[in-house]
Amino acid sequence: MKSISEIITSLKSLTRSDGVDATAHLSELRVNFVAPSLHVDVISKEFIGIDTDSRMDNLQAWLNEASLEDPAIILNTVARLPITINVLTPEEAENKSKWFDQTDHASWVSSFMEEPPRKSTPALETTPKYVHFYGYKGGQGRSTVLALLAKALADDGHRILLVDADIEAPSLDLLFGVSADTFDQTLMGLCGWSDKFQPIAGAYSGRFDGRIDLLPCRPRIESADLDFALLVATAPLDSRIYEGAANKLQESLPKGNNAYDIIIVDHRTGIASSVLPLMNRLPGAAVVFARTDFNTSTVPSELRRVVRAIFSNTASIPGVFVSFSLDPNRAASAARSPIEARVREQLLGELASVIENSDEDESANQISTTDLSLNWIDWYLDRALLEPALPDVSRLQSDNISSINLLREALALPVGRRRELIPGKSSVSITGKPSASLSGAKDSGPFIHIPEIDKLFVPGNPYTYILGRKGTGKTRLLNEMARRSLGIPLLVAADETKTPALRSQSIESQAWLEQCQNDAPTFWWSLIRMAIENEGGLSIEDAVKRYINNKVDPKTISDRLQIKTLLLKLRSPQVFLVDGLETLVPAARIKDFVTALFEIMGTFQNDPSVANRLIIRSFVREDLAASAIQNIEQQLEGRSLRLKWSAVSILNFALSRIPTLDWISQNFSDVCAEIEDHQAIIQRSSLSEKDATELLLRIFPTRLRRNNLSTATFMRLYFSDAGGDDTNKATFYPRLYLSFLQKLDAFAAEEQTPLDSDNRIKSSLLNRAYDEASREFISETKQELSHLLSLEYDDNNVQIANDQEKVTKFINAFAGLSTPFQHEAIIIELQTKTKFSEKSVRESLLRMKAIRMFEDRPGYAGWWRVGQLYKMGLLMKYVRNKLG
């Protein structure tokens, strides 16, 4: 069987005179691709006046005359292969071309037909800029480099949209740890599954208000699997599906202040049908990943055609090759092997050829491949990429950091920070003197942005489970979100007074709980119903009060179907914020309430018809979330955010609170002035650890006398629950830090000689302030422990008034006990001291461990130790070599 190219060559030979006859049989041969088949128009005057069958017979006879062809090649070819042979007279051909121009240019077939490549017209520079990432083969690091480039750009304040067009194996959502719940948020939506366009906002939040939004290929819900398979099966037959999607994307992109700066498209490997239509309709630069480790020094012909097609379709900027080296010892300075050098030369030659073809000046000189040496970028194996999460660019090895920078330059992307910061988002001023206070609810100091948390300030972001340990700023965060109108608080902490919501221990919340007969699902569904009907009118607390006064039966307003109907009628989607779960109900019932809330959230998540109508963002202590429901990991995947303060962010937080302290701001006015100068950077947590420490050490002494500890170490060690090692699990506690600073300020004001010989605050005052703050932290913890612990006496006759007193008794019992300790032994000691039942002591210890008050002693099975943060507050005695 001949190939189609050979058959076309045979037919072409009929357009030439053989020298014997004066004229050739065919006047013209036209080949074009109209999906799903190749159309070959065979045009001859000799077809005039005869029927189609006879024309076909003639054509076959001419071929047979010209060479010893298969005697039935025409019939066999059209019967077996996707090719249509149209036998036309010149007049018929002219008529056909007048109204039948449906050639599919943006297809691999059309691209492969052309030799040399068709003249491409350079597209005009567009805003936003489009960049297409393509690799003929997979496994070359394409998506990883794409994600890292995007992060680098977002960290410089640019707004990026990533489009996952790796149609058959999409993965960008997994790479960023986010997922789409509905078709509106996906490329599939643009391909016909939805009329809306709502990419996942804030998949990554960079510095200076930069961010990455993501348009995944498909929703990550099981019910979308079949749809996904259908798209993959049908779309290849009609490239207009992707062209239509690209058009819709362009029409739907936000304009003005919300516009994206750069849109990066991750393409499918090979000659997938989606690649060229999207590139053609979204003109920009292309990054082609190329392997150089062939066994031969010749680049396969189809790869050369592919490269040519890619660059012809994205000719506004020449484009770049990225070559991934699998050699772990390969460094940028290493010489290329001869084979690799030749492959590189050939591929750059293809790029040069496309650039020449797109040059409007016909007399332009040939472009040398050496002129394009910067269009070839090497990428190296990197240990930083072995971590489960995508690392920051700064953590890559230096050669790869250079490669990212080169990539930006070669693609004509901005190499520095965005010139104008996006207005609106950074509008929080830290000028003035906010009154600092102890609790998170009452801390009115400036809000400090942690990069991870900034994602929450992007409207429509996918994070609905905001988890954090006690004192990591959940309440403060909710407050800030409410202040920015990013959600309506539904339930808030007991001491939260700034937001009009139901407070967890208010008379109203307790009365409504009673009316719900403490049934958790009824409580949540009824609360949601009230909030939906309210639509931001009354405060939820007032709405609850009205329902209580009207003696409404909660069951009657917690019907799920009715609530769904109400949701579908909403004028605009609603976002509710839920906090204060820890103090809503007594410890024994708290799990039921978290479980019920998470189940309701799961219900909304998994129902595409309402997923975008109602979003509940819950702020929950992570130990409560961990065991709330079965398959919690699955429900939280891509939707949870952990509040975690790193060393650099906590130091920026500390600096931001310094000007709010009366005595310190009076006595260290120069430091405060410098802090004010850097306030914008500090507010974004962007002042380096080194610079922040330097500033603090102009107020604090270099060393602390107690333990002879350097103050820098103290600041890293004593406010974190993992000794400041900044692992994935450790976090710093802003509430403790704030309390420490306030105590220090107060003690210094009281002290007659608060400064040492170096004019820094005395070391002893720092120790005293820490001890006090730590005790206060424990005291505050006690309030939450009264909801967390369920302490019962062995003797039923013993009666103590309330849970708070029981917890105080239990906490006091730790004073003087040794740490580290044997778990089983301390149970007996505590039981003896308190008379609480063994079961309740055991359970309480486990719950306290869950909130990191205790931790395992590494290397000693059955041994625990007190958490760094609680050592001082619990007054336990540290005993070295306790094992003896």
Partner 1 sequence: MAFKSNIRAFYNHSKSHPLLDSYRLLVALELALKDANYVAHCGSHDVPNMLVTASNSLSVAAFPLVSAQLKSYSAKLRSDLGSITCQGKNSLPTPVPPSSYPYIRYSRCFGDWSGINETPAHKLTTLETTCRSICAFITAHSVQIGVFL
| Position 669 contacts partner 1 (CB under 8 A) | no
Ranges of H-type helices in 369-519: 398-410, 451-454, 474-483, 507-515
CB of 37 to partner 1, least distance (A): 7
In angstroms, the CA 232 to CA 235 distance is 6
Query: Do 619 and 479 contact (CB within 8 A), yes or no?
Result: no
Tell which residue, 698, 702, 703, has the closest CA to residue 671: 698
Min dist. Cβ of residue 271 to partner 1 (A):
17
Hey, which residues between 233 and 262 contact partner 1 (CB under 8 A)? 234-235, 237-238, 240-241, 243-245, 247-248
Enter the tokens of residue 484.
């920015």
Nearer to partner 1, 124 or 226 (CB): 226
In the bound state with partner 1, the residue whose beta carbon lies nearer, of 87 and 807, is: 87
Q: Which amino acid is at 667?
A: N
| Residue 96 in the binding site for partner 1 (CB under 8 A) | yes
844 burial via Cβ count (<10 Å: 0-12, 13-18, 19+): buried
* Residue 637: closest CA among 602, 689, 594: 602
Q: Quick one: which segment of 73-81, 330-338, 351-359, 382-390 binds partner 1 (CB under 8 A)?
A: 73-81
Name the minimum Å distance from CB 133 to partner 1.
24
Total residues contacting partner 1 (rule CB under 8 A)?
39
Asked if 88 interacts with partner 1 (CB under 8 A), we say: yes
Q: Which listed range, 5-13, 81-89, 323-331, 584-592, lies at the site for partner 1 (CB under 8 A)?
A: 81-89
Among the listed residues 153, 154, 191, 347, the single contact to partner 1 using CB under 8 A: 191
- Report which secondary-structure segment, H or E, holds 159: strand 159-165
- Per CB under 8 A, 192 contacts partner 1: yes
Among 86, 402, 437, 534, binds partner 1 (CB under 8 A): 86
Q: Which stretch binds partner 1 (CB under 8 A): 31-39, 306-314, 433-441, 831-839?
A: 31-39
For residue 116, give every residue at least 6 positions away whose Cβ sits within 8 Å of its Cβ, in sequence order, or none.
Answer: 353, 357
Measured from the CB atom, the residue of 54 and 669 that comes closer to partner 1 is 54
Are 527 and 593 a contacting pair, CB within 8 Å?
no
Q: Which of 48, 50, 61, 72 touches partner 1 by CB under 8 A?
A: 72
In the stretch 32-71, what mask flags binding to partner 1 with x, by CB under 8 A?
--xxxx---x----------xx--x---------------
Enumerate residues 6+ apart whose C-beta is below 8 A from 164.
170, 171, 172, 173, 187, 214, 215, 216, 217, 266
Least Cβ distance, residue 35 to partner 1 (angstroms): 6
- Residue 483 makes CB contacts below 8 A (sequence gap 6+) with 498
| Reduced 3-state DSSP string for 259-293 | CCCEEEEEECCCCCCCHHHHHHHCCCEEEEECCCC
Count CA within 13 A, CB hemisphere, residue 324: 19
Residue with tokens 């991750």: 266
Nearer residue to partner 1 within complex by CB, 80 or 880: 80
Residue position matching structure tokens 């009609």: 238
Q: Which is nearer to partner 1, 244 or 414 (CB)?
A: 244
Q: Is 255 helix (H, G, I), strand (E, B) or coil?
A: coil
Question: Near partner 1 by CB under 8 A, which window of 79-87, 151-159, 297-305, 326-334?
Answer: 79-87
Residue (107 or 179) nearer to partner 1, CB? 107
124 versus 233: smaller Cβ distance to partner 1: 233
Q: Output 90 or 586, the one with its CB closest to partner 1.
A: 90
Among 102, 688, 707, 759, binds partner 1 (CB under 8 A): 102
CB 554 within 8 A of CB 523: yes
CB–CB of 806/793 below 8 Å?
no
Query: Which residue's CB is nearer to partner 1, number 81 or number 421?
Result: 81
Name the maximum alpha-carbon separation found in the chain.
123
Minimum CB separation of residue 230 from partner 1 in Å reads 8
User: Which of 204-212, 232-240, 363-371, 874-882 is the region at the interface with partner 1 (rule: CB under 8 A)?
Assistant: 232-240
The site for partner 1 (CB under 8 A) is made up of 34-37, 41, 52-53, 56, 72, 75-76, 78-80, 82, 84-88, 92, 96, 100, 102, 191-192, 230-231, 234-235, 237-238, 240-241, 243-245, 247-248
